[in-house]
Amino acid sequence: MLAGASGQPAPKEEAVVSCGVWIYFDLFFFTGMHLSKKCSAFKVVLSALLIVALLQLIYLSFLSKFHGKQQRYRYSELFGGSAAKKNAQPEKNTRKERLRYSLSTGGIFDSSGQYRVYKNLIKSDFTTNQISGSDLNSNVLALATHTTINNLHHLESLLERWQNPLSVAIFAHGDDVKFATALVYALSFFCPHIQALVDFHLVCLSEEMASFPEQDREHFVGLEDCPSVYSRLETHRDKYKNYDINGNVSYPNNLLRNIARSGTESSYILVIDMDMMPSADLHQQFLTMVMKRQPTSDEVFVLPAFEIRHARKIPANKAELVQLYQVGEVRPFYEELCPRCQAPTNYSQWVNNHVRGTGTLEVAYTLTWVDPWEPFYIGPRTVPLYNENFKQYGFNRISQACELHVAGYKFSVLSSAFVVHRGFKIQGEFHARKDEENKHNRVLFRSFKEGLKAKYPSSMRRC
């Protein structure tokens, strides 16, 4: 009932209607406010996300500019002009100027006139500062090795194992001359252990010249520390085999061995290929041995040579090596290609030879050289040089071992030292001209042996 008899609204019904209206109004008002608050919160979150994204873009832009500036600074530090010299450390400037001077000489030609040699392109701190009293022990034995740029990445693990003076002769051809010059300088600049111990020598064809890599900015993008330089070297890994260089260029292995040898002033030298590894602690063990036992001038110390499956870790000592040898993971060097070339080492005798006292190095037995033995050895720096007429594959090391024999040297096999080649040498992995080169060098070897008769007229020994 909407009205009473007198026409006035009934109070109870009026209250109900008023309450309903206000309830409807309240629901509408407060629901609207709630939706408005949700909308405002969404706008705030969206605005915040946009601000964060904008800040990230600004930050990334800053990082990019900073990295570019850092790279330009690094390049300027490496190869910059007078402004960089003012800011650079004195020893860095000295190293830079030594490189400039080495390159400005234009190198020297080898005896054949076919190759240009930059001896001591980069000198180590050891070579530069020798000989102080503290360096005398380190100067007893040095390691000499040779390679192309594609195997130079092995230097890191080789030096980690060796940790003593190391002389490296690098052969480069074509664009690799520029690349090798730049990268060995970057190694000497960024890697303290290389600065301290490694001497680099560069060999190229006589018509090629190395130059200071100021304008070769592309070689240095991303180089900012020692690992980054080794990473760059990895990009050249296995580009070609040492004996299969682009353009049918001959790899002058014996010239490189001689240059690496002559690049050190040590009393004794071990010459190995870059993809080989000596046993651990060899330097200290040899030093201890020669202090106890004075070697004779006509004695070289043979390190039995092995090869190991690529997947295996290089053994550090004889016990580890023998264990792998017994299960076929390690085998004599060149066992598949030329077993006779290493057989005179007498591997069974060496493996079964036990030395009293852990870590003791001594002469296990002494051998007379026989054809066609190609031993790796530590020899005095006075041993005959390698004959540089031998290039490419075949007879390059046996010719030198043959001359040692004719010259009267004896071959003393060390009890627990060894060298290991990374990977098994197998048939079919060599370059196409291997047999042709081997045939050519065999003829050369016959002539070489005849020449030894005239060089050592009083010797009764023959190869």
Sign of CA dihedral 405, 409, 411, 414: negative
- Residue 117 and residue 153 in one domain: yes
Q: Is the pLDDT of residue 7 over 80?
A: no
Q: What was the pLDDT predicted at 135?
A: 53
In a domain, 259, yes or no: yes
- Residue 227 and residue 308 in one domain: no
- Residue 153 and residue 293 in one domain: no
In a domain, 85, yes or no: no
Count CB-CB contacts under 10 A for residue 405.
Answer: 21
DSSP 8-state assignment for residue 220:
T
Considering 229, 257, 274, which residue would you say is the last residue of a domain? 274
Q: What was the pLDDT predicted at 23?
A: 38
More confidently predicted of 98 and 136:
98
More confidently predicted of 42 and 317:
317
Q: 400-424, pLDDT tens digit by residue?
A: 999 999 999 999 999 999 999 999 9
Number of domains into which the chain is organized: 2
Count CB-CB contacts under 10 A for residue 259.
Answer: 27
Instruction: Find the Cα–Cα–Cα–Cα dihedral 136, 283, 263, 308, rounded to 10°.
Output: -170
The CA distance from 52 to 35, in Å, is: 26
Q: Is the pLDDT of residue 459 over 70?
A: yes
Q: What was the pLDDT predicted at 120?
A: 94
Q: What was the pLDDT predicted at 222?
A: 75
More confidently predicted of 173 and 6:
173
In a domain, 79, yes or no: no
φ, ψ of residue 109 to 5 degrees: the values are -85, 145
At residue 61 the predicted structure's pLDDT band, cuts being 50, 70 and 90, is low
Q: Is the pLDDT of residue 227 over 50?
A: yes
CB contact at 8 A, 398 and 373: yes
Q: What was the pLDDT predicted at 75?
A: 47
- Residue 242 and residue 284 in one domain: no
More confidently predicted of 96 and 316:
316
More confidently predicted of 92 and 228:
228
The CA distance from 121 to 107, in Å, is: 9
Q: What was the pLDDT predicted at 55?
A: 77
Across 190-194, average pLDDT: 94
Considering 234, 259, 274, which residue would you say is the last residue of a domain? 274
pTM recorded for the entire structure: 0.80
In a domain, 41, yes or no: no
More confidently predicted of 14 and 447:
447
CB contact at 8 A, 307 and 420: yes
- Residue 109 and residue 253 in one domain: yes
In percent, the amount of the chain with pLDDT more than 90 equals: 58
Q: What was the pLDDT predicted at 137?
A: 63
In a domain, 72, yes or no: no
In a domain, 38, yes or no: no
- Residue 252 and residue 306 in one domain: no
Q: What was the pLDDT predicted at 13?
A: 43
Q: 306-353, pLDDT tens digit by residue?
A: 999 988 999 999 999 999 999 999 999 999 999 999 999 999 999 998
Mean pLDDT lowest among 56-70, 86-100, 102-116: 56-70
Question: Strand, coil or helix: what is 383?
Answer: coil
Mean pLDDT lowest among 61-70, 226-235, 282-291, 352-361: 61-70
More confidently predicted of 445 and 54:
445
- Residue 396 and residue 426 in one domain: yes
Q: 74-91, pLDDT tens digit by residue?
A: 445 555 544 334 444 555
Across 244-254, average pLDDT: 81
- Residue 120 and residue 237 in one domain: yes
The CA distance from 330 to 343, in Å, is: 15
- Residue 350 and residue 259 in one domain: no
Considering 274, 302, 333, which residue would you say is the last residue of a domain? 274
More confidently predicted of 34 and 78:
78
Mean pLDDT score across all residues of the chain? 82
Which of 397, 113, 382 has its CA nearest to residue 261?
382
In a domain, 58, yes or no: no
In a domain, 428, yes or no: yes
Domain of 381 in residue numbering reads as 275-462
CB contact at 8 A, 300 and 412: yes
Q: What was the pLDDT predicted at 244?
A: 64
- Residue 310 and residue 382 in one domain: yes
- Residue 297 and residue 209 in one domain: no
- Residue 119 and residue 267 in one domain: yes
Count CB-CB contacts under 10 A for residue 11.
Answer: 9
